[in-house]
Each structure stands twice: as C-alpha cells, then as structure tokens.
C-alpha cells in the first residue's frame, strides 16, 4: 500500500471512529512510542476532536514510559520496551492519567537498524525489524495485537497508526 493510500485509510478509519465516539460521548487517549505523535495527529485532523480526544502521550524513551505512564522499569528490563506487556502498561497508564474511557498504545521497531556508519545494530533475540505491539485499554477489558510490517521507517509507522485506529474503533464498536 502506498503512503498516500495508507494516509487515506487512516483518515477514513479515524473519521469512522470519531463518529462512534461523538455519538456515544466517550473519550480516548493515545500513548505513542515509535509513532511519535502520528496517532494523535490523525485524531486532531478531524474537526470536533475536542469532543472525544482527551490526551496524547509521546513516550519514546523508557524513562518517559515510566515517568508519564507508570510502566514498570523491571518489566522494561525483563521484556524490553518492545513487548506486549509494555504496550499494555502504556495503554493502562494513558487511560488512568487522562481519565479517558479508552486508550490506545503503540511500541515497536521502525528501523533502520544501522548506526551512522552503516553497521547493523544488534536487536534483542525476541525482536525483528518492523515488529510492533498495539494495545487498547477500556472499561471492558484490554487487548494487545502483535504485527510485523515491512517497508521503510515511515511506512512501518503509518501501518502502525492504521492498526491502532482500527483496533480502537473495533473496541469502541464492541463495547456493551
């Protein structure tokens, strides 16, 4: 899928999510690592987002995940920041700290995985290029999905935004 096609899908899915939230009076928040604010930007691109979007947390570093979202440092050490468990703690922390009804969180590896000299950087054995975790926390439970995307850094980040919006939309739709 081209970058333009991804952007169009993100926009369409976000508008559908906005309609669901506007009609229900519910609020959402986002905790972002590898997307660096792209999810929040997609939300604020929709006119009237103040009626359903509460907060965005950009927590790229491990320290920010701990300080702003309450992610356990021992968990980051044992599972790494790119894990289902950390994504879930990020979502729970965003929901708690924002007071939103629903929260989505993303963490992952967008690459490239080389240093300034073109040398490959070592990845943890549990990691692969393009690996992302997306978590949603709601009053009705939590869910985490694992995806592996290919493409350049921008494409991986946009695919992650799309999955995050879709998972959040599906969670809101299925809420009792």
Quick: pLDDT tens for 1-14.
899 999 999 999 99
Nearest to 139 by CA among 169, 96, 170, 90: 96
55 — phi, psi (to 5°)?
-145, 155
Whether 122 shows a pLDDT value over 90: the answer reads no
Average pLDDT, the chain: 94
Instruction: Kindly report the CATH class assigned to 3-115+127-174.
Output: alpha beta
Whether 120 shows a pLDDT value over 90: the answer reads no
Residue-level pLDDT at 121:
73
Where do the structural domains in the chain lie, given as residue ranges?
3-115+127-174
Q: Report how far residue 8's alpha carbon sits from residue 83's, in angstroms, rounded to the nearest whole number.
A: 28
Residue found by looking up tokens 């703690």 in the block: 89
Whether 116 shows a pLDDT value over 90: the answer reads no
- Residue 4 burial (CB < 10 Å; 0-12/13-18/19+)? exposed
Q: Report how far residue 116's alpha carbon sits from residue 147's, in angstroms, rounded to the nearest whole number.
A: 27
Instruction: Categorize the per-residue pLDDT at 23 as very low, low, confident or very high, splitting at 50, 70 and 90.
Output: confident
Q: Report how far residue 132's alpha carbon sits from residue 107's, in angstroms, rounded to the nearest whole number.
A: 6
Q: Report how far residue 157's alpha carbon sits from residue 153's, in angstroms, rounded to the nearest whole number.
A: 6
Residue-level pLDDT at 128:
85
């Amino acid at each position: 899928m081209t970058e333009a096609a991804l952007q169009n899908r993100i926009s369409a899915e976000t508008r559908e999510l906005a309609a669901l939230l506007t009609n229900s009076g519910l609020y959402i928040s986002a905790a972002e690592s590898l997307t660096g604010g792209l999810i929040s930007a997609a939300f604020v691109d929709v006119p009237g987002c103040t009626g359903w979007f509460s907060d965005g947390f950009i927590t790229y570093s491990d320290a920010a995940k701990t300080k702003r979202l309450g992610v356990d440092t021992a968990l980051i050490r044992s599972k790494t920041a790119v894990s289902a468990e950390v994504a879930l703690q990020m979502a729970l922390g965003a929901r708690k700290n924002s007071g939103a009804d629903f929260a989505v969180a993303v963490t992952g590896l967008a690459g490239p995985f080389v240093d300034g000299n073109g040398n490959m950087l070592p990845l943890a054995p549990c990691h692969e290029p393009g690996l992302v975790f997306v978590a949603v926390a709601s009053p009705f439970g939590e869910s985490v999905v694992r995806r592996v995307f290919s493409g350049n850094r921008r494409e991986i980040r946009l695919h992650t935004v799309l999955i995050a919006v879709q998972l959040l939309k599906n969670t809101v739709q299925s809420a009792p």
